[in-house]
């Protein structure tokens, strides 16, 4: 219970973690700390050679991450957080700093350097206390690092590549994660295991205890700014300015604080996560509405703008528009200054209707169809079927038939599919080695986003997209330019009824979860009958995880399919059994990102 006295001190403080790392979030959550997550945008471009030690580099990076969040939150006129936690984990060997690999070859280079050797994992941590008065931001900085020594086993090339193809190394410092599959690479460790995972919880607890129950304040820097300056300004901060966290009158408050703590002991932990979950639909609807009103499109071309000007241009009320815009600021979708509102980086990348990686179509689909279907969830759960309502994610049948008939509905569905495919196509195309195939057929390939990515990655591969005639009719407006377009062709047809085009490799992406087992067996049987010996089937799906919390996205999608086809996500074990039942004996699996699995199954050669 090392954290317990500190938790009581932090219970009514606003704590922010300046990291999007799910591993750090899990470590701190399990320790009982209540916090918000505001990922840092600090570009990790510090000159490594200018630091005397690797841990000095990690500490400075952690500090700059936390200061970036402090600056942004202060400038947005949001309530200043009390504490911001920044962290940076690096792997070092023979004086060389290894961060996250940029691609599979880089991951192989890193793991080869570590193979059979001992290396160090450093995590730098910065704890920033923020105080704001009359528009001035005052910060106190405490920082430390933790080192853990890790010994790798001597591993074969085959095992290294198998691990790399799993996709796990790509967001891990040094190219491995000790808490998951990467644990098989490690022979021994000396030091804090959680430090290797990404956050030194034990040292963090001790540091907080020093800060809140100090024999004397040590290691703090106090810096005052009207607004936190740009990163470069912090490179020459003086060593120790000021002392201690407790300002004047601490002893006078002692009796009052003690009484307050006794009351706090009897209270359960504040359910921040649960409250956010309860109100989650409000945030979703605010996002959907802002997209529907084309707020982000407007601000991409004319920004910054005041609320009154935005309201005039989108024909809405000034009062309602101002409220919506402020909510979007709080959600990280917009930024606000004295000059007005402008798009955040997140909105500029994903929320423009014509952006390269736009999710506008997917948002439109959820707003127009999935939202309406979920309003009937209670009765649908009671009856086990939709009573005519449909929850539409990427299910072509519902959109192309009675759920939303007509050209506009088809284009709505296709825009949603296209946006999601653009985000995942590279991961799917590169998760496993497909270089031996010369022809592929993407069944239900819609706009061809994945087909074009496969053609780009494998210049010898020709790809046929096979989808319903009413889909093929509208694919022209989604086609890119470039030489790879000649490798991709479109053929209309129904993969449950019509003859499948000949190919060495058949591709199913986001298809099997749309159908119940009976139809899945039918489809796999047709593919197996068309697939030549030595040919393959590439399947990309959201697979259910053994841990329900990790499987949440898949489970939610599975629940939505209760309202339609009785389909849903299947576990990897069940998916493997389905493929093997239809003659695909050699099954390789790679996990990409958080929940998407890519499976390559091969028919045995005669």
Query: Which residues are known to be catalytic?
Result: 88
Structure tokens at 82: 């009390």
Identify the CA nearest to 46 among candidates 82, 106, 117, 99. 99
For residues 513 and 484, the answer to whether their CB atoms sit within 8 Å is no
- Left if phi > 0, otherwise alpha if psi is -120 to 50, otherwise beta: which for 167? left
Beta-carbon contacts of 324 under 8 Å, excluding residues fewer than 6 positions away, are 286, 289, 290, 295
Lookup result for tokens 């991951």:
107
Beta-carbon contacts of 32 under 8 Å, excluding residues fewer than 6 positions away, are 3, 4, 7, 269
Burial of 503 (0-12, 13-18, 19+ CB in 10 A): buried
Helix (H, G, I), strand (E, B) or coil at 590: strand
For residues 446 and 471, the answer to whether their CB atoms sit within 8 Å is yes
Of the CA atoms within 13 Å of residue 108, those in its CB half-sphere come to: 11
* Bond before 304 cis per omega within 30 degrees: yes
Q: Residue 534 and residue 442: Cα distance in Å, rounded? A: 18
Residue 544 DSSP label: B
Q: Residue 85 and residue 470: Cα distance in Å, rounded? A: 52
């Amino acid at each position: 219970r090392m954290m317990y006295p500190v938790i009581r001190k932090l219970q009514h403080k606003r704590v922010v973690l300046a990291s999007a790392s799910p591993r750090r979030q899990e470590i701190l959550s399990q320790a009982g700390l209540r916090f918000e997550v505001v990922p840092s945008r600090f570009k990790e471009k510090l000159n490594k050679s200018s630091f005397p030690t690797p841990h000095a580099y990690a500490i400075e990076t952690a500090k700059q991450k936390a200061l970036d969040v402090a600056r942004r939150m202060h400038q947005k006129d949001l309530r200043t957080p009390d504490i911001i936690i920044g962290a940076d984990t690096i792997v070092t060997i023979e004086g060389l700093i290894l961060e996250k690999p940029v691609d599979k070859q880089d991951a192989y280079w890193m793991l080869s350097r570590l193979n059979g050797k001992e290396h160090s994992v450093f995590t730098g941590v910065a704890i920033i206390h923020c105080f704001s008065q009359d528009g001035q931001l005052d910060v106190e900085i405490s920082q430390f690092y933790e080192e853990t020594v890790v010994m790798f086993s001597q591993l074969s090339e085959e095992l290294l590549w198998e691990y790399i193809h799993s996709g796990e190394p790509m967001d891990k410092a040094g190219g491995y994660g000790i808490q998951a599959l990467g644990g098989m690479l490690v022979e021994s460790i000396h030091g804090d295991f959680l430090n290797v995972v990404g956050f030194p919880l034990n040292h963090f607890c001790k540091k907080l205890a020093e800060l809140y129950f100090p024999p004397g304040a040590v290691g703090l820097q106090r810096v005052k700014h009207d607004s936190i300056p740009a990163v470069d300004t912090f490179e020459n901060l003086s060593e120790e300015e000021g002392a201690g966290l407790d300002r004047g009158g601490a002893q006078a408050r002692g009796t009052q604080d003690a009484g307050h703590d006794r009351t706090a002991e009897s209270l359960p932990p504040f359910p921040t996560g649960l409250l956010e979950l309860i109100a989650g639909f409000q945030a979703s609807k605010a996002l959907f509405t802002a997209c529907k009103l084309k707020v982000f499109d407007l601000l991409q071309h004319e920004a910054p703008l005041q609320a009154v000007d935005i309201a005039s241009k989108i024909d809405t009320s000034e009062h309602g528009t101002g409220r919506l815009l402020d909510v979007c600021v709080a959600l990280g979708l917009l930024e606000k200054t004295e000059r007005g509102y402008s798009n955040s980086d997140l909105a500029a990348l994903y929320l423009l209707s014509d952006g390269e990686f736009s999710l506008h179509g997917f948002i439109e689909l959820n707003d127009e169809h999935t939202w309406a279907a979920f309003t009937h969830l209670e009765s649908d759960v009671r009856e086990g079927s939709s009573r005519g309502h449909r929850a539409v994610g990427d299910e072509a049948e519902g959109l192309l038939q009675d759920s939303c008939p007509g050209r506009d509905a088809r284009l709505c569905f296709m825009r949603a599919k296209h946006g999601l495919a653009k985000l995942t196509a590279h991961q799917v195309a590169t998760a496993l080695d497909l270089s031996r195939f010369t022809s592929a057929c993407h069944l239900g390939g819609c706009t061809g986003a994945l087909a074009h990515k496969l053609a780009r990655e494998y210049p010898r591969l020709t790809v046929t997209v096979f989808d319903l005639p009413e889909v093929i009719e509208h694919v022209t407006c989604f086609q890119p330019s470039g030489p790879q377009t000649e490798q991709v062709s479109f053929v209309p047809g129904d993969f449950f009824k019509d003859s499948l085009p000949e190919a060495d490799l058949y591709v199913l992406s986001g298809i099997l979860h749309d159908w119940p087992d009976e139809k899945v067996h039918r489809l796999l049987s047709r593919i197996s009958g068309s697939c030549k010996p030595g040919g393959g089937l590439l399947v990309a799906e959201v697979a259910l995880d053994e841990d329900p919390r990790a499987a949440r996205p898949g489970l939610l999608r599975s629940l939505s399919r209760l309202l339609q086809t009785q389909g849903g996500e299947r576990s990897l074990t069940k998916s493997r059994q389905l493929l093997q039942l239809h003659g695909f004996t050699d099954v390789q699996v790679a996990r990409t990102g958080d929940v998407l699995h890519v499976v390559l199954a091969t028919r045995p050669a005669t």
